[in-house]
């Protein structure tokens, strides 16, 4: 019952937070207005700016920010113990991550749906725009280049996921056509699309068994399967990024959100049944005092490792990218921005339960033996590195088995789920990169580069260049992957910096809700970056040393510029207040 109580407490914490702190932010801090103009209506173009129903945009936003982050991060972070992981996921999500996402969304919403790097120029200065652009461009470049390999790896590990993942494309396009072109009933169309999606999962399993060559990609022209998949995925993203959001991106994300809701419901039901049948104890240690020799220290690395489940800078790119261009009204931003982050935290909690309790139910080894309890957990967490996706899937399949779902079916469902979410991340990232490139091109009056075709081409070609920089396997971005964790969290701190300055202009102490998490993230991330730099130098990894050092310098520069602006605003307000008092005294 310990696991069930933990799940219940975390769920209640998120519900209470949304209805208290979230509503406080909406009403008192950001003062959302239903009649306020929004970019989707003011700049409506039918391509990127499209007024969208709240439920649909929630699905798009949620799947875009989630990806595999709230799965992989907590699955690794639990190695320090389930207690610190849970505390960071719950408290960090409520008071930092959700504030970060919500604030970024509102600020972008009130600035024509522009990106956080473009908005930085307005609230800090124009120099910061270029510095911010460099960090954002690099972060998106790594994500786009790396996720092609990630998806290829998922396809290799779960071949039955290949067919359903690709069939989601025509299913999503048909859903978008019915809703937007035929004005069909959203509820009925959604139900049909979700049923079709799950039928495609069954078809994928059947195809893999009877025609394995269809799901196992062969080498082509000397390019290994991973490289072939990277090329195919980047070509797909080029087309997807240039299409109107209502044609593919939005409906695909929306049906994937339903896939997640169903998966989370199955995991909750599985945990409840398992708890009543076998108690479902937490087999992971609350605080791990016997860390593997290769483990990093919990301070500051847990807060960088568990990102998307608590706070992630990538979210600010979505919150100031696709989502503000589709929100129908300002009040919707509470549900979409704050609410979706809380639901992502809930997913992270379920992942922790899967790997902290679910795998303890049973791990069947290839040579016939079965591990139970703490032995099963130690099997996967005896070392810091290695595969941490498998324990999530094994634990999830165990939980689902308690409600009668066969392990093989549970594994397939989770495989498709992970591949689908990785697909939504790379899809959205290319479009976000296109926005960033277009904004910069328009600022510098490079007309041809501002168009969506040219900007998308630059986004895809640069990612392909990084992916194939080290060879035909498309895994070139892996060399820069060690930088992503700290760069991502640094981006979160910088986004909070922009939100802080935005609120500072509004007067009073409103800025504190963003300033406190901003300071915490700047301190933690800077600490982690310095420790990484020391390790990179010690290991002779000069490429990582130079790029990591460059990012750190850019961040420090931006922070100094922001602090100067903040202090100037403070002095200006004090002068204005003093003049008002003197004027009042003279009048008297």
* Of the candidate ranges 171-175, 206-210, 247-251, 265-269, the one whose mean pLDDT is the lowest: 206-210
Distances (CA, A) of 441 to 317, 455, 459: 18, 9, 13
Arithmetic mean of pLDDT over the chain: 90
Task: Answer with the residue of higher pLDDT: 360 or 409.
Answer: 360
Q: Is the pLDDT of residue 570 over 80?
A: no
Q: Is the pLDDT of residue 520 over 90?
A: yes
* Of the candidate ranges 13-27, 169-183, 466-480, the one whose mean pLDDT is the lowest: 466-480
Reported as a single tens digit per residue, the pLDDT across 83-118 is 999 999 999 999 999 999 999 999 999 999 999 989
Torsion region of 280: left, alpha or beta (phi above 0 gives left; psi -120 to 50 gives alpha)? left
Task: Answer with the residue of higher pLDDT: 125 or 569.
Answer: 125
Q: How far apart are CA 277 and CA 104, in angstroms?
A: 44
Indicate the pTM of the whole model: 0.93
pLDDT of residue 127: 84
Q: Are 311 and 499 in contact (CB under 8 A)?
A: no
Residues whose CB is less than 8 angstroms from the CB of residue 296 and which lie 6 or more positions away in sequence, other chains included? 384
Percent pLDDT > 70 in the chain is: 97
Q: How far apart are CA 347 and CA 281, in angstroms?
A: 19
Task: Answer with the residue of higher pLDDT: 545 or 585.
Answer: 545
What pLDDT band is residue 586 in, cutting at 50, 70 and 90?
Answer: very low
Residue in 36, 34, 32 with CA at minimum distance from that of residue 24: 32
SS3 of 363, please? Answer: strand
Average pLDDT score over residue span 236-247: 93
Reported as a single tens digit per residue, the pLDDT across 448-464 is 899 999 999 999 999 99
Residue 170 tokens, joined? 């025509």
Residue 151 tokens, joined? 């998806």
| Rounded to 5°, angle at Cα 85 from 82 and 89 | 135
Query: Per CATH, the architecture of 2-480 is what?
Result: Orthogonal Bundle (1.10)
pLDDT of residue 524: 95
């Amino acid at each position: 019952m310990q696991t069930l109580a933990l799940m219940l407490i975390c769920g209640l914490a998120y519900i209470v937070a949304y209805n208290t702190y979230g509503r406080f932010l909406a009403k008192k801090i950001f003062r959302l207005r239903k009649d306020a103009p929004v970019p989707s209506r003011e700049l409506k173009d039918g391509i990127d700016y499209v007024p969208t129903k709240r439920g649909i945009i929630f699905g798009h936003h949620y799947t875009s920010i989630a990806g595999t982050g709230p799965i992989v991060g907590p699955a690794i972070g639990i190695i320090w113990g389930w207690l610190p992981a849970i505390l960071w996921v719950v408290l960090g999500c409520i008071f930092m991550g959700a504030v970060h996402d919500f604030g970024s969304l509102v600020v972008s919403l009130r600035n024509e749906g522009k990106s956080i790097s473009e908005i930085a120029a307005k609230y800090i200065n124009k120099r910061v725009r270029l510095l911010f652009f460099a960090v954002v461009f690099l972060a998106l470049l790594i994500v786009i280049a790396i996720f092609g390999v990630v998806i290829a790896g998922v396809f290799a590990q779960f071949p039955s996921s290949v067919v359903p993942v690709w069939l989601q494309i025509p299913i999503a396009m048909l859903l978008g056509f019915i809703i937007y072109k035929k004005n069909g009933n959203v509820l009925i169309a959604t139900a049909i699309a979700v049923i079709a999606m799950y039928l495609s999962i069954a078809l994928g399993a059947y195809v893999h068994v009877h025609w394995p060559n269809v799901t196992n990609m062969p080498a082509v022209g000397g390019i290994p399967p991973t490289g072939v998949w990277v090329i195919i995925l980047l070509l797909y993203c080029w087309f997807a990024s240039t299409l109107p959001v209502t044609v593919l991106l939005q409906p695909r994300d929306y049906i994937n959100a339903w896939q997640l809701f169903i998966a989370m419901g199955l995991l909750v039901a599985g945990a409840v049944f398992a708890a009543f049948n076998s108690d479902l104890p937490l087999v992971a240690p609350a605080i791990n005092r016997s860390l593997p020799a290769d483990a990093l220290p919990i301070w500051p690395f847990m807060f960088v490792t568990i990102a998307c489940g608590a706070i992630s800078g990538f979210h600010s790119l979505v919150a100031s990218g696709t989502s503000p261009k589709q929100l129908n009204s300002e009040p919707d931003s509470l549900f979409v921005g704050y609410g979706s982050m809380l639901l992502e935290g809930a997913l992270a909690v379920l992942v922790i339960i899967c790997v902290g309790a679910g795998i303890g139910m049973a791990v069947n080894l290839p040579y016939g033996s079965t591990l139970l309890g703490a032995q099963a957990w130690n099997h996967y967490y005896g070392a810091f590195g290695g595969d941490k996706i498998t324990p999530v899937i094994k634990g999830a399949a165990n939980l689902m088995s308690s409600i009668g779902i066969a392990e093989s079916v549970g594994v397939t469902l989770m495989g498709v789920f992970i591949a689908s979410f990785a697909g939504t991340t790379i899809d959205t990232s290319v479009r976000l990169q296109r926005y960033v490139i277009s904004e910069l091109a328009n600022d510098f009056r490079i007309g041809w580069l501002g168009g969506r075709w040219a900007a998308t081409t630059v986004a895809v070609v640069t990612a392909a260049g990084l992916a194939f920089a080290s060879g035909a396997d498309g895994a070139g971005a892996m060399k820069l992957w060690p930088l992503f964790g700290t760069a991502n969290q640094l981006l979160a701190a910088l986004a909070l910096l922009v939100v802080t300055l935005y609120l500072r202009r509004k007067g009073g102490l409103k800025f504190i809700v963003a300033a406190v998490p901003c300071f915490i993230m700047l301190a933690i991330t800077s600490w982690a970056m310095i420790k990484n730099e020391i390790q990179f130098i010690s290991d002779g990894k000069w490429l990582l040393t130079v790029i990591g050092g460059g990012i750190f310098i850019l961040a420090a520069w931006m922070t100094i510029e922001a602090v100067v602006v903040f202090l100037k605003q403070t002095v200006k307000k004090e002068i204005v207040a003093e003049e008002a008092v003197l004027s009042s005294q003279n009048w008297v």
